[in-house]
Amino acid sequence: MLLALLGFLAVYGGTNWYIAARLWRWLGLTSGGWLWAICFAVLATAFLFSQFETFMPLKLSKALNTVGGWYLQSYLILLLLVPAADLLTRGGPIVAAVLLLLAACVTAYGVWNARRIVRTDYTVEADIPEPLTLALISDVHLGWIIDAKQLAPMIDAVNAADADYVLLAGDTLDEGPDLVLDKEAAGREFARLRAKRGIYACLGNHDGAFKGQEDAAQQLLTRWGVRVLRDEVALDGAVAVAGRKDDAERDRMPCDQLLKEIDKEKTFTVLLDHQPGFFPEEKAAGADLILCGHTHNGQMFPFGLATGSIYHPDYGRKTEDGCTMIVSSGIGTWGPRIRTGCHAEVAVIRLTPGK
């Protein structure tokens, strides 16, 4: 683990040095090299230092997170563009200016896009007596970066769907309940959440803060009016809503055991599972509709290439043998408040009789 960390820091530091050195040379700068180096070092480490939020004033850690996040997305763009320019051109001030402008534009778009919530519509045929509407969100990541003020437009977007069920597919909390700094304000926002027949959630890998705090996370969400299903099933007429413990929890129940008491002939089963890597098992267990999050659809370019190689699908819809999986890109963000190449969404799923 230590060697992997040291290796990462070496690669990250080396690539930042390479980018800074090339831009310095291409811009034709001749003095102030030490100031250039310090600026790059501060920007490159700002996001890393922001993760030690318990050791510094909150305003400082938020500022580091914001500035460091902007730089991190710019760095990822420059990491692709600078070597390409190095190979294909002789550099120069115009090349450097164009690369910096492109990185700044992509980052600015990502900052704006992360706060723009879109609605994604799906239709799924179901063996139910009447049409139903599900509003799915995932990955709110409520905590010390996304707070109650930023939660408010998310609640508004969900309520606009006028759903029968509101379903939260995990990572509602960013680093467990302790770092939700104003629980009362967040609770007032959740109290505005509207569903005609129920509000249900499963937990994700972040909800327990990676410290086994899932029970505390469940208690907090329950206090806010959300029924958390951890290897549990809620029956509501012809619909069953089941929620799995996250794969990070060691005592997670096998899916066939979780769903074994459901009458598959008379009940349409909606399964909440934060991570979307278990489609074959869940389809075989009798789930009709599987709802997931976790991937953020990559969130920041080019991470979508990685999520797409790990999860199938990492976003959108997959249907096979009458079973449908829908993976949300999430409504919040982890780390930087930036989304490039994907969007924050409420997925609205219309269940129509006729399966």
Q: Which contacts of 246-251 are long-range, i.e. CB under 8 A and separated by 24 or more positions?
A: 246/170, 246/202, 246/203, 246/204, 246/205, 246/207, 246/208, 246/214, 246/274, 246/275, 247/205, 247/274, 247/275, 247/277, 247/278, 248/205, 248/208, 248/210, 249/203, 249/208, 249/214
Q: Helix, strand or coil for residue 123?
A: strand
Q: What is the pTM of this model?
A: 0.94
DSSP class of residue 127 equals: S
Q: What is the mean pLDDT of the chain?
A: 95
Q: Cα separation of 242 and 168, whole Å?
A: 12
The string of pLDDT tens digits covering residues 142-182 is 999 999 999 999 999 999 999 999 999 999 999 999 999 89
Helix, strand, coil % in the chain, rounded to nearest 5: 45, 20, 35
Residue 31: predicted pLDDT: 86
Residue 212 three-state SS? coil
pLDDT at 298: 95
Q: What does DSSP assign to residue 109? A: H
Q: What's the confidence (pLDDT) of residue 33?
A: 87
Distances (CA, A) of 38 to 3, 42, 63: 26, 6, 18
Q: Are strands 132-137 and 165-169 parallel, antiparallel or unpaired?
A: parallel
3-state class (DSSP) for residue 267? coil
- pLDDT level of residue 323 (50, 70, 90 thresholds): very high
Q: Give residue 55's pLDDT band: very low, low, confident or very high (50, 70, 90).
A: confident
Q: How far apart are CA 153 and CA 119, in angstroms?
A: 13
Token digits of residue 11: 């690669």
Instruction: State the Cα–Cα distance between residues 325 and 203, nearest whole angstrom.
Output: 18
Is residue 2 very low, low, confident or very high in pLDDT (cuts 50, 70, 90)? Answer: confident
**pLDDT digits over 31-49, tens only?**
888 999 999 999 999 999 9
Tell me if 276 sits within 8 A of 257, measured CB to CB.
no
What's residue 355's pLDDT? 60
Residues 76-99, mean pLDDT to the nearest whole number: 95
Tell me the average pLDDT across 273-285. Answer: 97
Give dist(CA 186, CA 226) in Å, integer: 13
Please report, as a single letter, which amino acid is at residue 226. V
What span, in angstroms and rounded, lies between the C-alpha atoms of 203 and 275? 10
Is the predicted pLDDT of residue 11 greater than 70, yes or no? yes
On the question of pLDDT at 14 being above 70, the answer is yes
- Which residues pair with residue 353 across a beta bridge? 126
What average pLDDT does range 250-269 have in this prediction? 94
* Residue 4 pLDDT exceeds 90: no
Answer yes or no: is pLDDT of 1 > 80: no
Mean pLDDT over 331-338 rounds to: 95
Answer yes or no: is pLDDT of 307 > 70.
Answer: yes
pLDDT > 90: percent of the chain? 88
- DSSP symbol at 72: H
Q: pLDDT digits over 342-354, tens only? A: 999 999 999 999 8
Distances (CA, A) of 74 to 57, 86, 203: 26, 17, 32
Amino acid symbol at 291: L
Of the ranges 28-32, 66-70, 114-118, which one carries the lowest mean pLDDT score? 28-32
What tokens appear for 206 in the block? 């972040």
pLDDT number for residue 102 = 97
